[in-house]
Amino acid sequence: MGTERRPRRVLIVGATSAIAAEVARCYAARGASLVLTGRNPARLAAVGDDLRVRGAGSIETEVLDLLDRERHGAVVKRAFAGPLDVALLAHGDLPDQQRCQSEPGEAAGALELNLVATVELLTLLAREFETQGSGTIAVITSVAGDRGRQSNYVYGAAKAGVSVFLQGLRQRLHAMGVRVVTLKPGFVDTPMTAHLPRNPLASSPQRAARAIYHAIESRRDVAYIPWFWRPVMALIRAIPEPLFKKLRL
Ligand SMILES: NC(=O)c1ccc[n+]([C@@H]2O[C@H](COP(=O)([O-])OP(=O)(O)OC[C@H]3O[C@@H](n4cnc5c(N)ncnc54)[C@H](OP(=O)(O)O)[C@@H]3O)[C@@H](O)[C@H]2O)c1
């Protein structure tokens, strides 16, 4: 299928994310109007200014801490002041796995942002897109949700929960003309991973963003970002559990 060219109206949640800001540049370069949310007003304004210079049709910003779940409804309503073509959810936080193991509140907090807030927002967005009868909901989950590993299974559990939620949502909304895209990046060099040893398979935010833009616009259901993570994760999922539990991953 060809890549969509007409100007679009696009909501990006977590627009200050390194990956999301690059996806937003792909849309801005094609004249899209962008509704951006982020929790840091100064960084959000800087992202908006950059996108204006790069050709965005218009920029609207909403300061939103996603843990403030009571505000989700009002922000979604304002985003739907006009028809919305795409909503991209890009927020996330990689918790410290060791702290999650010693402090239950840390694990719960990671699930609160990465899973619970995401599900709440998706529920509100799904209702609006259903009423509209068109559009695309795209969500950045992670390859970490494909198999639990000792190094990051709390984060992985949150992302797995989102991925399964999206499977059901995709089936539900298909008949209404609304698409749901699951985006599964592998390791990307961003502030989220800056403290980790460099991964030989790491991508730049620019490369990840181009793949994400293409996956959304070429009507994919599930996309690994970049593509080679699909066979890598198929291999990892295929390792029998009795062997997998002995590996240091
Ligand atoms: N980097 C990777 O290797 C990788 C791999 C797979 C999946 N992902 C996923 O890709 C997405 C983007 O991550 P990234 O790598 O671009 O990292 P990033 O640059 O650190 O972006 C994370 C974003 O989440 C936002 N955020 C965190 N807590 C929030 C809250 N309570 N309310 C609102 N926003 C909040 C951050 O806002 P602030 O700017 O205010 O901090 C930031 O915009 C995430 O969903 C992440 O889980 C990343």
- HEC profile of 32-71: CEEEEEECCHHHHHHHHHHHHHCCCCEEEEEECCCCCHHH
Q: Whose CA is nearest to atom 18 of ligand 1?
A: 17
User: Is there an atom of ligand 1 within 6 Å of 142 CB?
Assistant: yes
Q: Supply the pTM of this predicted model.
A: 0.96
Mean per-residue pLDDT, 196-223:
95
pLDDT tens figures, 36-85: 999 999 999 999 999 999 999 999 999 999 999 999 999 999 999 999 99
Q: Quick check: 6 pLDDT over 90? A: no
Residue whose C-alpha is closest to residue 191's, from 50, 26, 40? 40
Q: How far is it, in rounded angstroms, from Cα 100 to Cα 93?
A: 13
Q: Whose CA is nearest to atom 20 of ligand 1?
A: 192
User: Is there an atom of ligand 1 within 6 Å of 140 CB?
Assistant: yes
What per-residue string of b and e applies to 118-128 under the rule 16 or more CB within 10 Å gives b?
beebbebbbeb
44 close to 24: Cβ distance less than 8 angstroms: no
Q: How far is it, in rounded angstroms, from Cα 68 to Cα 113?
A: 10
For the CA atoms of 206, 119, 131, 51, the dihedral, rounded to the nearest 10 degrees, stands at -20
